[in-house]
Amino acid sequence: MERSTRQRAAIRTVIDESGRPLSPQEVMEAAQAEVPGLSLATVYRNLKQLIEAGEIASVSLPGDSPRYESAQHSHHHHFQCTECQRVFDVHECPGDMTALAPAGFTVERHELTLYGRCSDCAAATAKARRPAAAKVHGKPAATPARATARSAAAQAGPAAKGGARAATGMATRTATKTATKAAATRGAKTPPEPRTKVAAR
Ligand SMILES: [Zn+2]
Ligand SMILES: [Zn+2]
């Protein structure tokens, strides 16, 4: 198969099989298993083509960069984790919201996004709060966020920019303290480059 065809097929497959909307960075990382060396620029080019072809759909959350999902999904909603920023599908729908609109208004459609912590982040936080849990999984993510917040922020360098941007987006719905902690935790989990690239776009 020609390389460009293989790239596009791999990207399409990753999005169709993911079960949640993916950022370009996440698409790249997953598709690299099939196409080693796949670049972010190539991912963006293919995402654009797949959108134009109606094969995938973009998911735009307020104040955040777009994610991509299969165009075949029926009506559904999303959940964004304020710690890891990943977006998940929510299949339940409250249904008709006509009653929420002012009298005399007609509701044509609705979008609904829930914010909070995904099960991974909730579990990581619970473990970090137990003193003996520092070595769980041996990953930096298991390190108590409070103890490392300062050094993580210092090491984050360019990542701090993404954190600041995410914090601004969350300002209206989350206390600044939480946002700062989220940014610091994120910096600790994903050192310098990848996420920053996406965040900067
Ligand atoms: Zn999370
Ligand atoms: Zn709905």
State whether 125 and 185 are in the same domain. yes
Q: In angstroms, what is the span from residue 97 Cα to ligand 2's centroid? A: 9
Q: In angstroms, what is the span from residue 198 Cα to ligand 2's centroid? A: 28
Provide the pLDDT confidence category of residue 130 given band limits of 50, 70 and 90: confident
139 pLDDT more than 60: no
Q: What is the pLDDT of residue 128?
A: 85
151 to 128, 154, 157, 177: CA distances (angstroms): 17, 5, 11, 16
Ligand in closest contact with the CA of 116: 1
Ligand in closest contact with the CA of 77: 2
Q: What is the pLDDT of residue 131?
A: 64
The total of structural domains in the chain comes to 2
184 pLDDT more than 50: no
pLDDT in tens, 141-165: 444 444 434 444 344 444 443 433 3
State whether 131 and 67 are in the same domain. no
Q: Name the least confident of 26-40, 66-80, 154-168.
A: 154-168
Q: What's the CATH number where 40 sits?
A: 1.10.10.10
pLDDT, mean over the chain: 75
Structural domain of residue 142, as residue ranges?
Answer: 118-200
